[in-house]
Copies of this chain bind each other. A is one copy, B any other.
Amino acid sequence: MKISELAERIAARLESASASNDREVSDVTSFAQARPQSVVFVEQERFLDAALISDAGAVIVPEALAISPDVLSEGQGKAILRSANPRLAFARAADELRRAQPHTPGVHASAVVDASAELDPTASIGELVVIAAGVKIGPRTRIGPGCVVLADVVIGADCDLVARVTVYSGTTLGERVIVQAGAVLGGDGFGFVPDPATGKYHKFPQIGRLEIGDDVEIGANTTIDRGALEATIISSGVKLDNLVQVGHNVRIGHNVVVASQTGISGSTVIEDGVIIGGQVGIADHVVIGSGVILGAQAGVPTKKVIRGKGLFWGTPARPIGEYLKELATLSRLTKKK
């Protein structure tokens, strides 16, 4: 992709018309890994020199960063892209360049694909993949090596299941969904009915759906259960880190971010835009309102409703100011004793 075209796509401003603006770039990198076809970025002035002496062909810099001509000359004709948010511009550049990569469609000879599956001709099915009956796979979607896609799953366009992902029946994925290795989508939820006469637990049916929107990313070895009778919903733009657990009938709103090893129990609702730290535990039938940030290791008891702007911490989760005051009180009383 020409630098001038990339600049337009990521809403960056080219410093000046120059021959370098017509050069082609194909990837984003660190300074050390950069080659002439690479794009790098700088947020702070102190890294500018390192960027300019790297081999990168283009550097994204803050709008306001002054670059003196003699410093610039170090760059030996690098294209300079100005952005109000260089980090965001760099992320968007990565995305644009990734999509521009040549895509090799086709089904690897070692994959086991049921005759009734409907694969878009531009989809790519990797080594030792299993695609069961009735599955539908959209355009340009890549199913990486060792994935298992069970009956009747529907996967939209431009998805990437990297490797060894399992998708259960009853699951649908939107577009541009990225799933890291080992994730399990749509497994049975944890629902059992005790028989008081025997002390034994009987499995409650786990036969609902899992609906995943667009632009979702799901981390390695994360598990998301299908609904018991109804559906588990992961809305568009949700990002789940590694080893996260999402229980049955949970509804996660748009653009929610969940860090590693957090667990969300059955029937809980997480509203749009919520940010959840690592190792947070959220019990069942909880509501977490938009604007809430849950700090790492926070715990939210069953049926609790948390609303408000800002950070909640501790177990049971409370406003951060309250929690810190309590810690200070305890420390003071202990020392006084």
Task: Mark A residues whose CB is within 8 Å of B.
Answer: 27-30, 32-33, 85, 87-88, 90-92, 94-95, 108, 110, 112, 126-128, 130, 132, 144-146, 148, 150, 162-164, 166, 168, 178, 180-182, 184, 187-188, 190, 192-196, 199-205, 207-208, 215, 217, 219-221, 223, 225, 229-230, 237, 239, 241-243, 245, 247, 254-255, 257, 259-261, 263, 265, 272-273, 277-279, 281, 283, 296-297, 299, 301, 315-316, 322, 325-331, 333-334, 337
Contact = CB atoms under 8 A, between A and B. Distances in A.
Contact of A187 (B146, B242, B337): B242
Contacts of A243: 221, 223, 243, 245, 263
Contact of A257 (B90, B192, B247): B192
Contacts of A219: 187-188, 190, 223
B260 A263 contact: yes
Contacts of A208: 30
B200 A215 contact: yes
The DSSP consensus for interface residues of chain A is: loop
A182 B166 contact: yes
Contact of A92 (B144, B181, B202, B215): B202
Contact of A299 (B203, B217, B259, B296): B296
Instruction: Rank and list the top 8 A-B pairs by shortest CB-CB distance, nearest first.
Output: A30-B229, A166-B181, A91-B202, A184-B220, A187-B220, A190-B241, A94-B205, A223-B242
